[in-house]
Chains A and B, each alone.
Chain A
Amino acid sequence: MAFLRRLASRLVQTAAVVLVVTFVTYWMLSLLPSDPCFLSVGTGATEELLAECRERLELDRGLFAQYGAWLGNMLTGDLGESYRNGIQVTESLRDKVPVTAWLILYTTVLSVIVSIPLGMLSAVRRDTWVDRLITGGAFSLLALPSFVLGVVLALIFAAKLGWFDLGGYVSPTAGLLAHWKSLVLPVATLTAGIMPFFLRLLRSDVITTLQEDYVEAARAKGLPRWWILLRHVLRPSSFTVVTVAGLNAAQLINGALVVEIIFDLDGMGTYLISAVFNQDFLVVQTLVALIAAAFVATNMLVDATYPLLDPRVRVRNR
């Protein structure tokens, strides 16, 4: 019951934040001196054509009415069309969302897979050279922003060694192997950016857990070391990993923006950037709204489901 109430209040909060964010972005973009009709009609614009277009886009209505109409359309799944080329945004997104989604999914999975053994190892071997090597390595990765690491990886593995080509994204339907090959370097770049966060958190979590009485008890019972680590230590810590993984997945859109440019992937990031450069503000508005909604919603979901996953929090909250 308490959980449901918490969830409901979080939902309301989230909805409020998304509403305000989308409204503020809508309002700010509407202040720009650019005329979407000018873009839409093109160079041969006559007054009648422009007037007709303004009529069609309902630009003469007030800000709130325009925003309301836009929001209504968004909620019913009509994301509008680009002023620039008249292509439906939903149409464009159909090809682009999978690219970014695969990037984020692979990165999250890989980061979890890599950080669990490394994090546990450095916690168990705390303050030895193994630990220092792992934590030091992770720390150095944090000093490599995606646009530095991405370019360097492209230089080494594509330009010099020729293991990968920078030919862009291959969809899984065109062959899984080619699909993976096209995403290896981008995913590696993104993983390097978030894996250290996973690792650090897991390490400190495991160090705390190792000092718990029940771990001591398990050891006293003579259970094998790997069993203790797996069942008694990793299990409670896995909630932490799930949480950071969830929170970071949304944050990954940052890196995706950069990585998609470096590796020529035609995803949400490149779409957003090209819309910015083309002053295609409806597309910018829509994408920013979608990203904000996804970002805030993921944060909320992770936060709200945490007690469901971890019985200890559930009990404490009662």
Chain B
Amino acid sequence: MKVPAIPGRDSLAILRGRETRGRGAGRRRLAEQPLGFWLAAIWLAALVFFVLFAPVLGFLADPDGYSRNVLQGVGRSHWFGTDELGRDMFARVIWGGRLSLLIAAIAVAVGILVGGLMGLLAGFFGGWVDTALSAVINILLSLPALILALFIVTVLEQNTRNVIIAVTILAARAVARIVRAQTLRFREREFVTAARCMGARTSRLLFREVLPNLVPIVVAFTFLGLGLVIVGEGGLSFIGKSVPSPAITWGGILAVAKGKLADAPHLTIYPAIVMFCTLMAVNYIGDTLMRRFDVRQSLI
């Protein structure tokens, strides 16, 4: 008697809802990306380079280095000019970005872990687990972002750690909502039912069947979340409730520059452009990925 062929790896993967890809498909996909995607990636790579190596790059070493060239315009020695104390604005933008991006990276990473787990559990188990977790999520969502962050920093005392906590909550509540909705979609799919019928344990269903399917959307959210958090922290520091001085982030640079709009527009323009390009880049990459994975909620 002929034994029916055991489905190969590939068909199993299809069953799990994951796409199978031949070798080289990844590379082809990258090459298919539109020009904007590459511009965005290059901008982010350059920014990350400057931000990471700021302490080693001699000309950027000291954002607080005073010079006699006060309020100088853009020039060869000062790419973005200098401020009223003679500090190099390019160095300040990079060092400000260092902190802005560090906060954003931590907040998004922790936010995805915490919010993702909340959303996963709520969506997968339903029932009272969902009711309880959704209540928490809804309560966190019941305040506009900036008000929530401002409130948290006020209650917890204003320091860098608490600013990170505040913006992490902003990221977490967004992830939780998206992941819950996606989990609801996947838990009813055939491959999950099949695994359940085969006697898979809950942990396997959660982490081996459902979770891998959430990876694309979480990757896409990583970029959108970075934007969300950079804006959130920027807003906080613009109203003077973010990292305590002398530490500075992009929002803080703009808040200071606001006082000198008429005399020194370069203090505003260049930080604004850098921030715009960065947000544009993360939004663009995030949105392209979201659309690729066909998620309705692109750009939450």
Contact = CB atoms under 8 A, between A and B. Distances in A.
B258 interface: yes
Contacts of B135: 17, 20
A28 B155 contact: yes
A291 B144 contact: yes
Interface string B218-236: 0000000001000100110
A139 B146 contact: no
A236 to B, nearest CB: 18
B299 interface: yes
Nearest to B238: A147
Given A254-B235, A258-B238, A276-B241, A148 B146 contact: no
B160 interface: no
A151 B257 contact: yes
Interface stretch (B1-9, B161-169, B275-283): B275-283
B265 A159 contact: yes
B284 interface: yes
Contacts of A257: 146-147, 150, 235, 239
Contacts of A277: 240
A115 to B, nearest CB: 15
Nearest to A145: B231
Given A31-B155, A276-B150, A276-B241, A147 B254 contact: yes
Interface residues of A, number: 46
B268 A21 contact: no
B45 interface: no
B168 to A, nearest CB: 17
A25 B150 CA distance: 12
B189 to A, nearest CB: 25
A284 B283 CA distance: 33
Contact of B254 (A25, A29, A148): A148
A21 B139 contact: yes
Nearest to B284: A139
B279 A155 contact: no
Contacts of B299: 142, 197, 200
Interface string B227-265: 100010011001111000000000100110110011001
A177 B155 CA distance: 42
A24 interface: yes
Nearest to B276: A143
B265 A276 contact: no
Given A142-B283, A258-B239, A159 B261 contact: yes
B165 to A, nearest CB: 13
Interface in A114-165: 139-140, 142-148, 151-152, 154-155, 158-160
A1 B256 CA distance: 57
Given A148-B272, A258-B238, A261-B238, A295 B143 contact: yes
A295 B254 contact: no
A229 interface: no
Nearest to A261: B239
A206 interface: no
Nearest to A296: B142
Contacts of B70: none
A293 to B, nearest CB: 9
B129 interface: no
A69 to B, nearest CB: 21
A160 B279 CA distance: 26
A262 B258 contact: yes
Given A21-B139, A29-B155, A152-B272, A145 B234 contact: yes
Q: Is the interface of B mostly helix, strand, loop or mixed?
A: helix
B145 to A, nearest CB: 6
A276 B241 CA distance: 9
A172 B151 CA distance: 32
Interface string B190-208: 0000000000000000000
A79 B285 CA distance: 46
A155 B144 CA distance: 27
A295 B279 contact: no
A186 B261 CA distance: 16
Interface in A210-231: none
Contacts of B265: 155, 159-160
A148 B299 CA distance: 19
B139 A145 contact: no
B268 A155 contact: yes
A101 to B, nearest CB: 15
B154 interface: yes
A17 B138 contact: yes
Contacts of A97: none
Contacts of B240: 273, 277
Interface of A: 17-18, 20-21, 24-25, 28-29, 31-32, 139-140, 142-148, 151-152, 154-155, 158-160, 197, 200, 250-251, 253-254, 257-258, 261-262, 272-273, 276-277, 284, 288, 291-292, 295-296
Interface of B: 135, 138-139, 142-147, 150-151, 154-155, 227, 231, 234-235, 238-241, 251, 254-255, 257-258, 261-262, 265, 268-269, 272, 275-277, 279-280, 283-284, 287, 299
13 contacts: A24-B139, A139-B283, A139-B287, A145-B231, A146-B235, A148-B234, A151-B257, A159-B265, A254-B235, A258-B238, A273-B239, A276-B154, A295-B144
Given A273-B150, A284-B154, 17 more contacts: A17-B142, A21-B142, A28-B155, A143-B277, A144-B279, A147-B238, A148-B234, A148-B272, A151-B254, A151-B261, A152-B268, A154-B258, A159-B261, A159-B265, A250-B144, A254-B147, A288-B147
